[in-house]
Amino acid sequence: MSAAHLGTVATAGATIWLTGLSGAGKSTISEALIVRLREAGHRVDILDGDEVRQVLTADLGFSREDRITNVRRIGYVAEVVARNGVLALVPVIAPYAEARDSVRERHEKAGTPFVLIHVATSVEVCAERDVKGLYAKQKAGLMSGLTGVDDPYEDPTNADLRLDTAGRTLDESVDAVWAVLSARGLV
Ligand code: ADP
């Protein structure tokens, strides 16, 4: 009987950061991935961007500086969680390379695996999905500073996977992330 059947798989933790525009599919993929990881016996947790902003970073806004601080703080928590054998999923936009790189560096220094998944769904597709109504709100002039529209999103050049969800099923997207985790020996 495999360890998975005993429900006691001793695995390394890691931070799996899903970066990309609002509506790209970061949360949806994370939620589906969590189910699969749990089924396989992994300890997992999720640091959801919107939830974190209500507690850990409620003092921050959406300026470049605040967005960078937001990502750095989340990165700190994720590393602590990951170093204790948990797969920490982080579906957070993280638009600036500087902040993503700083989180990666923190992990490298600590010897904690860090995986960057770029959920690279185009802004056109994200705006069409408009899950939270933000694209319509921006278009109507009711808000500004929407990532990928009138606020920067710096495409990662060092992602472990670039995943465009357009024309892919959720299962296919999760499979693609799983393959990366498998190649890294994390699942
Ligand atoms: P984000 O967390 O990146 O802001 P969400 O996960 O909240 O985005 O929303 C993504 C939307 O796209 C959901 O409504 C989801 O059902 C849809 N979607 C369509 N195809 C896919 C796919 N292949 N992977 C993930 N989401 C998809």
Number of domains in the chain: 1
Is residue 187 situated within a structural domain? Answer: no
With 0-12 / 13-18 / 19 or more C-beta atoms within 10 angstroms meaning exposed / middle / buried, residue 162 is middle
135 in a structural domain: yes
Note the pLDDT tens digit of each residue in 123-163: 999 999 999 999 999 999 999 999 999 999 999 999 999 99
Find the residues whose C-beta lies inside 6 A of ligand 1: 20, 22-29, 91, 119, 129, 131, 165, 168-170, 173
Q: What is the domain range of residue 110?
A: 8-181
Q: Both tokens of residue 48?
A: 């959801």
How far, in Å, is the centroid of ligand 1 from the Cα of 115?
20
pLDDT of residue 1: 40
Tell me the pLDDT of the chain averaged across its residues: 94
Question: What's the gap in Å between 49 CA and the centre of ligand 1?
Answer: 14
- Tell me how far the alpha carbon of residue 130 lies from the centroid of ligand 1, in angstroms: 10
Confidence of residue 3 (pLDDT cuts 50, 70, 90): very low
| Nearest alpha carbon, ligand 1 atom 22 | 170
Domain assignment of residue 1, yes or no: no
pLDDT on residue 2:
44
Q: Is residue 133 part of a domain?
A: yes
**CATH number for position 19:** 3.40.50.300
Please give the Cα distance from 126 to 78 (Å, whole number). 26
For 8-36, the pLDDT digits (tens) are 555 789 999 999 999 999 999 999 999 99
Give the pLDDT confidence score for residue 62 in this predicted structure.
95
d(CA 123, CA 45): 28
The predicted pLDDT at position 167 comes to: 93
Q: What's the rounded mean pLDDT across residues 89-102?
A: 98
Sign of CA dihedral 121, 59, 103, 81: negative
Mean pLDDT for 77-96 is 98
Give residue 12's pLDDT.
86
Report yes or no on 154 lying in a domain: yes
Q: How confident is the model at residue 60 (pLDDT cuts 50, 70, 90)?
A: very high
Q: Is residue 127 part of a domain?
A: yes
